[in-house]
Chains A and B, each alone.
Chain A
Amino acid sequence: MSESQAPSASDQSRALTLGWLPPLTLTASVGVLTVAAAFAASRHGESLAMGLWWTGLVVVYAPVLLRQLQPGVTRLERLALAVLLGVALLLVKVLYMPFQLQFSDEFYFWRSAMDILQHHHLFVHNVSLQVKPVYPALQEATAAVASLSGLSVTHAGLVVIDVLRPVYVVALYLFYEQVSGSTRLAGIASTLYMANPNFLVFDSLYVYEAFALPFAVLALYLAARWLTSEGATGRLPGVFFWVVALTVVVAHHVTSYFLVAYLAVWTIVAFQQRRSGHQARPPLRTTLTLLVLILAWILFIAPGTLSYFNGPFNFVATRLAGEATGKLKVVHGFVRPQGPLAQTILDLGANAAIVLILLGTFGFVWTRMARWVGMRVALVASLGYLGVLALRLVPDGAELAGRSMPFIYLPLSLALAAGLLANRARVGRTVVRTLLPFGAGMLIIVGGLASGFPASWARLPGPYLPASWERSDNLQSAQAAAWVGSHFPGDQYLLTDQGNMPYMAAYGGELPTDTASWIMFVPTLTTELQRALAIHRIKLIVVDMRMSDGLSQRGFYYYSTEPQAYVRRQPLNRELLTKFEKADFLDRVYDSGDIIIYTVRGRNP
């Protein structure tokens, strides 16, 4: 299994050849071109767009996986193939949204970076940004790039995220190589990791997780190298590790928790290994020190993190408790990926393959890799995937499950890679020995894409869709928000839909709120409604008339418990949107055709 240990001097001449890298670069570029054609076709409304998208991505992934599965490939080629795949997939994301931010969260980070540029200090409080300002690493780096280059915040932010891509991919490869001692396993595992549902788009976005993950993987590599190298000394890893780990703590809450959890699993497994007579160094002090660092950050800088997480976890817990006691009826069961049935089948097939490979080869790999403590840690940690699958069965747990994928895939990919090769060793016939791991690997890859972010309706760019995240991206909303930003004092409460909300928070500098959104669903305006606007301190109402032309693909326009949320079959009634015309306490101050902005007069009726 561990056919190629970390490179030796004896094969240095061979190790420096590029092998199949040049032709595979060509196939990857054909895939990128095909995806570009898919995006162009989608913008023009062509039905073949989705087929082109799938074809392009398979052309990017498949040759790389096939090559990584082969024995006798040099380390340089394997590493270069991993980088090639990572960069090709980044290009796919860049082609989707070449010049701008698009995902709603990105706008909030834009605003947070802008706050740093304007105030020259970190941790600027802004109620609409929740905990983002207290995890400012991404915004700091963006502010530095923008202020020293003169670029806009958008372009500075995209540069920061893109520059980190090589770090991410190289660190992944190095980590896998270090813990498995095999360049082949490292190559296969890196390829499988890049099929995790969030890798293609979400972890290339201008969001703190995308910034923190490369540092977390690098920190794990540095720790693994320190723990597994012969002759390594000291009770704690060096300064470089701690600066990288601190960056993770400052960058993103969940990623830092993942980092400390992984080290904790390593500690437990290492103690168990020692009991079994194997050599292993448990990173107990490192884990505890990192835990103290994280807790100190929460306690002194980011106490709001606790209440931030309280929301989603409480929501799921309440739903579970409600169901257990019979007080609540299940609305959403197993959440399958939206879209064609074929994609659902791929998703289920991939999950079945993952579970089969993981459980079917666990014992074999565990025994074969007895000396490799890092490998055993990955095996134990990868069992967490079963928990993630269980989470998908919980009502409303699908989002939490989806968000955990980049983390759980880190050990899972290595376990799967080992499993694929273990299977290969057991099966006799040559053709089957080659095709079986490749087929299983491709099933995992396409399954990851099928269940991946964004949802199928936003997978390809296209015309505007109301209140539908990436597909609600449009210049009219952006310009309306910019107009608000240049004509009104900031930090005023504002009523608007999900599509315009990020724009108004970022470019408008206002505080979009959904506390009074129910007003939108009341047919006529009364003095009570005027009073409600005053109580909620709403100063501006932004109405997007396009909500009467199309359905929100998310299932709601304003808030998830609005009337007919998730079951609506008709767009919003136009009269609900035009009712503001008659109100004498509102001024219709802006009109761009689809977007109307009203200012609210007076304080009380």
Chain B
Amino acid sequence: MTGFAFELAVAASPLLNRAYTIVTPPDAAVGPGTPLEHYLRLAAFLVLVLLTGFTFQEATRRRTRCLEGERVATTIAGGLSLLVVGGLLLNLFASGLTSFAWLRFLFAALLVTGLISFVRRASNASPMPRRPRGKKHLRPLDLAFFGVALLLVVGGFWVDGRSVVQTGSDRFLQLWVLPEGGKSQSVLRIGVGNLEAKPVTLMVRAELMHSTLNTWGPLDLAPREQWQTKFDVAGRAGRIRVEIFRPGTADGPLRTVSYTLGRP
């Protein structure tokens, strides 16, 4: 659950969000919605899985005394085990492992195991022995310890996240060229991506045999912004060279790509 809490913290904290944006992997969210909606749906899903896990262990385990901590472990593990077994079952159907199929399976499992555990409880003359209950002695000082500990852990994440933001030095520009539609030799698609931490202004130049065919720009690109264009090269042959450079400077090209026209 620490991971889940941390994910929530990422969604809530501007600093962590910024760090997240810098180092986030390029895999997009699977479903629609904002990050907060994803986490809310995740919370609902976890409740469903845990509820199913709880009824499953109640329905199938022997009626012996449950030790402290045992039910927590068997509930989480039971829920996840059912997911795994459910996946194997759903795989047998043509529709496979879709979100709707998962939901149907989980609700069906909850219904069946819930009914069985209810019947077992109702029919059992000697109910499952309960572990001894008593008052937990939580003093104000204990709460203070836990509170300070929580603050220190949050502080740890702040220190960590800050260092990620400050040293996330992976700043770069992308340039690419590819034939439009994969194999067409008459149109090229040229793209530029800005993964610097700041806005950049760039010029794009296309050359063939050292003569300029076209230039684009100046292009103002915000961080994480891309620019793409189609370039008609019908009837031309030879190696076309595309480069980006900063306008108004004598510096050489920042990035260079090339594509040979007129060859298979």
- A residues within 8 Å of B by Cβ? 6-7, 9, 12-13, 15-18, 21-23, 25-26, 28-30, 32-33, 35-37, 39-41, 43-44, 75-76, 79, 83, 87, 90-91, 94-95, 98-101, 110, 114, 116-117, 119-123, 136-137, 140-141, 143-156, 158-167, 170-171, 173-174, 177, 214-215, 218, 225-226, 229, 232, 238-240, 243-244, 246-247, 250-251, 463-464, 474-476, 478-479, 481-483, 487, 507, 584, 587-594, 601-602
Contacts and interface: CB of A to CB of B under 8 A. Distances in A.
Contacts of B138: 18
B122 interface: no
B68 interface: yes
18 contacts: A7-B68, A25-B145, A43-B167, A90-B3, A98-B16, A99-B10, A121-B91, A159-B42, A163-B80, A166-B1, A167-B76, A171-B77, A463-B167, A464-B170, A475-B172, A475-B195, A588-B258, A591-B175
B41 A148 contact: yes
Contacts of B33: 150
Given A22-B141, A141-B84, A146 B25 contact: no
Nearest to A478: B26
A215 B99 CA distance: 25
Nearest to B62: A238
Contact of B7 (A116, A155, A481, A507): A155
B103 interface: yes
A43 B69 contact: no
B82 to A, nearest CB: 7
Given A29-B153, A483-B174, A584-B260, A22 B145 contact: yes
A137 B84 contact: yes
Q: Max chain B CB contacts within 10 Å: which of A13, A76, A244?
A: A244
B176 to A, nearest CB: 5
Contacts of A79: 68-69
B126 interface: no
A180 to B, nearest CB: 14
B85 A246 contact: yes
B80 to A, nearest CB: 6
Given A7-B132, A243-B82, A218 B167 contact: no
B3 A590 contact: no
Q: Max chain A CB contacts within 10 Å: which of B20, B95, B239, B257?
A: B257
A149 B44 CA distance: 8
Interface string B146-162: 10111011011101111
Contact of A136 (B6, B78, B87, B166): B87
Given A40-B163, A152-B28, A87 B135 contact: no
A39 B259 CA distance: 43
A504 B3 CA distance: 27
B73 A150 contact: no
A36 B160 contact: yes
Contact of A152 (B30, B91, B131, B156): B30
B75 to A, nearest CB: 9
B97 interface: yes
Given A147-B99, A148-B103, A590-B176, A140 B26 contact: no
B142 interface: yes
Given A120-B96, A163-B1, A18 B142 contact: yes
A141 B163 CA distance: 32
Nearest to A40: B163
Contacts of A6: 67
Contact of A75 (B29, B32, B68): B68
Contact of A161 (B3, B37, B96): B3
Contacts of B148: 26, 29
B26 A145 contact: no
Contact of A215 (B30, B81, B91, B161): B81
Contacts of A28: 149
Nearest to B57: A240
B83 A141 contact: yes
Contacts of A588: 256-258
Q: Max chain A CB contacts within 10 Å: which of B19, B149, B150, B177?
A: B149
B135 A16 contact: yes
A67 to B, nearest CB: 14
B137 interface: yes
Nearest to A94: B6
Contacts of B84: 137, 140-141, 246-247, 250-251
Q: Which 4 pairs from chain A and chain B are nearest by CB?
A: A150-B31, A162-B3, A120-B96, A40-B163
A39 B102 CA distance: 40
Q: Max chain A CB contacts within 10 Å: which of B19, B73, B142, B195?
A: B73
Given A22-B141, A244-B81, A591-B256, A29 B152 contact: yes
Contact of A95 (B64, B68, B157): B157
Contacts of A594: 172
Q: Max chain B CB contacts within 10 Å: which of A171, A177, A232?
A: A171
Contacts of A18: 136-138, 142
A140 B81 CA distance: 10
A487 B163 contact: no
A116 B156 contact: no
A247 B29 contact: no
A162 B132 CA distance: 30
A13 B134 CA distance: 6
B252 interface: no
A148 B102 contact: yes
Q: Max chain B CB contacts within 10 Å: which of A153, A463, A589?
A: A589
B8 to A, nearest CB: 11
A98 B3 CA distance: 9
Contacts of B4: 159, 162-163
B45 A247 contact: no
B164 interface: yes
A15 B30 contact: no
B201 interface: no
B69 A173 contact: yes
